[in-house]
Amino acid sequence: MTPAPAAPGAAGTAGLLHTVPALAARFDADLDAAAPGLRRLHVVDGWLLATAVASGVTPEVEAAVLAHVRHLADAGASAVLVTCSSVGEAAETAAARVDVPVLRVDAPMAREAVAAATEPGARGRVAVLATLASTLGPTGRLVARAAADVGAAVEVDARVVDGAAAARDAGDGDRADALVARAVAEAAAGADAVVLAQASMAGAAARAEAPVPVLTSPAGGLAALVAALAGGAR
């Protein structure tokens, strides 16, 4: 866990829990742009994602997420952002057991997708794309719940982008992004919005050509985190 230096006037301390090591630097840079000087604490646990992929979100995963969130809160975090969609439901479970806000990175994205699918003239369809099957269920259920929250009927089409995860694991991020961009173009033909379920897919959004919104989680998740910190600096 590496804290960034505190700065005068920083609104509390941000806690971030990641399951992909590379995302710590990505979110750190985005926080530098969104809230310069904000102190932040990162925890990275790749075991969480590996276990979710192999076995789902097990009780052990839920317990580990809760332990990490408690550790961040004890270390001074005023709010915690869980940046992995695959363990998003475990983040919600943890939120009920700690005294600081615990946020799912993909929650604002889900609400935005539902808004696009329920605009006048929309078809009521959201496409969810992921590179890992473990993310489809949590994100798909999140979108469905966001629709239910506003009393809307939204059809969710969730699918894995074949080959993208293997390409990224092999170090070929360019090919992974190209595969995601191609899948976006295909999915957009039948949807009002395309959701890229994992934060690691955000780089592909700029390459995607689609007539509908292509939504990614980092920007909305960080905006929610900054808002939560502004509501109660610690």
Is there a contact between 19 and 45 (Cβ–Cβ < 8 Å)? Answer: yes
pTM equals: 0.88
The DSSP bridge pattern shows strands 125-130 and 102-104 to be unpaired
Domains plus CATH for the chain? 13-105+219-230 (3.40.50.1860), 107-216 (3.40.50.1860)
Residue ranges in the chain modelled with pLDDT below 70: 1-11, 232-234
d(CA 205, CA 214): 6
DSSP per-residue codes, 33-79: HHSTT-EEEEEE-HHHHHHHHHH-S-HHHHHHHHHHHHHHHHTT-SE
- Residue 209 is predicted with a pLDDT of 84
- Residue 232 is predicted with a pLDDT of 52
Among 79, 68, 104, 100, CA closest to 11 = 79
Which residues, other chains included, contact 178 with Cβ-Cβ below 8 Å and sequence gap of 6+? Answer: 204, 207
d(CA 135, CA 127): 13
- Residue 206 is predicted with a pLDDT of 83
Sign of CA dihedral 211, 212, 215, 220: positive
pLDDT tens per residue, range 166-185: 999 999 999 999 999 999 99
